[in-house]
Amino acid sequence: MTSDIDHTQAWSAGGDTSADNLVALCRSGHRLKHQSSFSTRQAPDGTLTWTTPGGKTYTNIRAQDLTRAALNPGTSGDTSPRSAQPARPQPPGEARLSASGRAGPDDNPPPF
């Protein structure tokens, strides 16, 4: 996947070429911004808010927040430190045993 680097505040309008004024946009989003009345505003944390020609706003979720949410489901992007120890990985080829001491159908979920 490729992206276009865009000045949030146009360089021609005095916008700096700096990290806090640059954002990666997909090609269609970049064209939408420059060939229509849509506009963007970038927050200090990099979050981008789009404003439609009718004045309605939509805020993008930052890529790193999407990644954190995917790695920690149910956290809504919460990245505060966790105190719990990570689970120990199961050695390859070693089946998990149920309370009865036998491997059950739920003890070895796909992929096997």
Per-block average pLDDT, block size 10, for the chain (112 residues)?
89 92 90 93 88 94 63 55 52 51 54 51
Count of the separate structural domains present in the chain = 1
CA distance 103 to 96: 6
CB of 93 closer than 8 Å to CB of 81: no
Question: Which residue range forms the structural domain that includes residue 15?
Answer: 4-71
pLDDT value of residue 100: 53
Instruction: Tell me if 104 is assigned to some domain.
Output: no
Instruction: Tell me if 85 is assigned to some domain.
Output: no
Instruction: Tell me if 15 is assigned to some domain.
Output: yes
pLDDT value of residue 83: 47
Pairing, β 39-42 against β 22-25: unpaired
Instruction: Tell me if 64 is assigned to some domain.
Output: yes
Instruction: Tell me if 24 is assigned to some domain.
Output: yes
Reply yes or no: is the peptide bond before residue 91 cis, omega within 30 of 0.
no
CB of 39 closer than 8 Å to CB of 50: yes
Nearest by Cα to 98 from 87, 109, 111: 109
Instruction: Tell me if 98 is assigned to some domain.
Output: no
Instruction: Tell me if 55 is assigned to some domain.
Output: yes
pLDDT value of residue 33: 92
pLDDT value of residue 45: 83
Q: Which two tokens stand for residue 26?
A: 């997909």
Instruction: Tell me if 87 is assigned to some domain.
Output: no
pLDDT value of residue 44: 86
